[in-house]
Amino acid sequence: MKINTCWLTTTLLLSSTAFAAPHWGYTGAEGPDHWASLTPEFAACSGHNQSPVDIKGTIKSALAPLAPHYQAGATTLINNGHTLQLDYAPGSQLTLDGHAFTLKQFHFHAPSENLIQGRHYPLEAHLVHASEQGELLVLAVMFEAGAANPLLTEAWRQLPKQVGTPVSLARPLDVRALLPKGLDYYRFNGSLTTPPCSEGVRWLVLKHPVTASQAQIDAFKALMHHPNNRPAQPLGARTILE
C-alpha cells in the first residue's frame, strides 16, 4: 500500500485535525459497526483484511529476527480524543522484507485490540512505521498489570486532558522502554484499526508482554473515558505466521 506523505502525516498519525467530519468513535451510531457507512472515505472498514484479529491457528514459519534501530525520539504527546499518541522524531527504524520503516508515532488502546488465543490484555501499544514508499508497518506490544513501565511513568506526568493540544515533553523518551527482551512475534497482513481502515499494513505482534502498573493503566482509561479498542475482525483467508 502506498500513501502520500501529506496523507500519512494528517491521517495515519491520527492527528487531531484529521477527518474533522464526519466524527467517528467507539460507541453508538459512530462506533466500529458503522464506520464504513459514515463516509465513502471509510469504505475500507468493511474490507476482508481488517485489523485487529484474534491470533490463533498460527502457522510455524522461519520469520526473520527483528533488529530495530531505535533511539530516544518521542518529543510530543497529544490526546486526540481517540487515543494518547507520542510523535517520534526522525532517525529510528525497523528493517523488514528489505525495506527500512521509520517509526512515526506510537499510541495506546485499552483493552488490547488484538487478542492472543482469545485473550484480551489490559493495554496495547502500537508503534506505527512507514517506508519511504508509503508502506505501513505496525509493531504491537501487549501489557500486563504489574511493575510500572518507566516510559509511561515519564509520559503520564504530562497527561494532556485537553483534546487536540500537543504537549512538548521535557526530554525525548525512548520507545525501547516499551519493548520486551525477547522480540519473537506473530505476523499477518491487516489494516489500520481506525478510520479510514486502510489495508495492506504489515502487522507484527510481539509474543512476550511487558508490564505497566494498574495505576498507569487506569490513568489512561480515565483519560479516554471509555474503551478505545476496535473489536477483532474476521481473519478470512489470511494466515498468521509465527
Task: Tell me the three state secondary structure of residue 130.
Answer: strand
Structural domain boundaries in the chain? 55-224
Per-residue pLDDT band at 5 (split at 50, 70, 90): very low
Whole-number pLDDT of residue 181: 95
pLDDT at 104: 98
| 139-192 pLDDT per residue, tens | 999 999 999 999 999 999 989 989 999 999 999 999 999 999 999 999 999 999
pLDDT at 1: 42
pLDDT at 20: 52
Q: What are phi and psi of 7, to 5 degrees?
A: -60, -40
- Residue 193 pLDDT level (bands cut at 50, 70, 90): very high
Give the Cα separation of 114 and 88 in Å (integer): 23
Annotated active-site residue 82? The verdict is yes
- In the chain, % of residues over pLDDT 90: 90
Q: Count of alpha carbons within 13 Å of 179, Cβ hemisphere only?
A: 18
Q: How confident is the model at residue 21 (pLDDT cuts 50, 70, 90)?
A: low
Count the neighbouring beta carbons within 10 Å of the beta carbon of residue 60.
Answer: 7
pTM tops 0.75: yes
Contact residues for 240 (Cβ-Cβ < 8 A; gap 6+): 53, 55, 56, 57, 58, 59, 186, 187, 188
Mean pLDDT across 88-105: 97
Work out the number of other CB atoms within 10 angstroms of the CB of residue 234.
Answer: 11
- The answer to whether residue 2 scores a pLDDT higher than 80 is no
Give the pLDDT of residue 12.
45
Name the nearest CA neighbour of 220 among 114, 132, 148: 148
Q: What is the CATH code of the structural domain delimited by 55-224? A: 3.10.200.10
List the single range of 16-25, 124-133, 144-153 with lowest mean pLDDT: 16-25
| Residue 4 in this model has a pLDDT that exceeds 90 | no
What pLDDT does residue 22 have?
82
Grid cell, residue 211, equals 508490564
The one catalytic residue among 82, 107, 109, 120:
82
Instruction: Report the chain's mean pLDDT, rounded to a whole number.
Output: 92
Do 186 and 119 meet the contact criterion of CB atoms below 8 Å apart? no
Q: pLDDT band at residue 112, thresholds of 50, 70 and 90?
A: very high
Residue 57 clears pLDDT 50, i.e. is over it: yes
